[in-house]
A and B are shown apart, each in its own frame.
Chain A
Amino acid sequence: DTGVSQNPRHKITKRGQNVTFRCDPISEHNRLYWYRQTLGQGPEFLTYFQNEAQLEKSRLLSDRFSAERPKGSFSTLEIQRTEQGDSAMYLCASSFKQGPRNFQETQYFGPGTRLLVL
């Protein structure tokens, strides 16, 4: 097991372009999370999936942000019409949910994708 991987590690784009990031979770993990982290701040939760179902998306930053996990394995995060304020580190994490309690399991984070919007 190689842990959570994210691609690309770095992305530079021009304002107005669309970008897509990929996250490959730990193979047996059924939950996958996306976070955004700006300089000097902690990770900010965006959305999460349990298998292929997106169970929380109210904290996505705007309707320009969308995420998918079509087969319950890897996930993609897309930002449409990027703005300079979207420049940040985008982190993915995965976990294995057991039992009824929500968000109580340990998350394993990937190295992140650093986005710079010019």
Chain B
Amino acid sequence: DAKTTQPNSMESNEEEPVHLPCNHSTISGTDYIHWYRQLPSQGPEYVIHGLTSNVNNRMASLAIAEDRKSSTLILHRATLRDAAVYYCILRDLTFGTGTRLTIIP
């Protein structure tokens, strides 16, 4: 099964862009890349997903490398409400430990 690798933690200043990386070097050609985030004491919530092309929605952007072995979740202007654990997952539904994002006021 394909696995993902993410940094354990990242910090960013409020109102600045945040780039959260995810490596998935063994991704198969048909795997979508999904990103979820989990705020304290809540279940995970969907952020964005993509297959090959870069994707944008109201929450974030997803940049997918041309070889699909990595992707980057982009929060364009981080707010304090974006402080959460961010997970990228593939078809095997393995969440791992994710990246804990801290926003500095």
Contacts and interface: CB of A to CB of B under 8 A. Distances in A.
Nearest to A56: B93
Instruction: State which size class the interface on A falls in.
Output: 20 to 34
Nearest to B43: A109
Interface string B74-101: 0000000000010100011111111000
Contact of B91 (A43, A103, A110): A103
Contact of B46 (A44, A103, A107, A110): A107
Contacts, number: 50
A104 B91 contact: yes
Instruction: State which size class the interface on B falls in.
Output: 20 to 34
B21 interface: no
A109 B95 contact: no
Contacts of B43: 4, 91, 93, 109-112
Contacts of A102: 91
A44 B96 CA distance: 8
Nearest to A110: B43
A111 B94 CA distance: 19
Given A104-B32, A106-B34, A45 B94 contact: yes
A42 B87 contact: yes
28 contacts: A35-B95, A40-B97, A42-B85, A42-B94, A42-B96, A42-B97, A42-B98, A45-B94, A45-B95, A91-B43, A91-B44, A101-B32, A101-B91, A103-B92, A104-B32, A106-B34, A106-B46, A107-B34, A107-B36, A108-B46, A109-B36, A109-B43, A109-B44, A109-B45, A111-B42, A111-B43, A112-B42, A112-B43
Given A42-B94, A45-B93, A112-B43, 9 more contacts: A33-B93, A42-B87, A42-B95, A42-B96, A42-B97, A42-B98, A91-B43, A106-B34, A109-B43
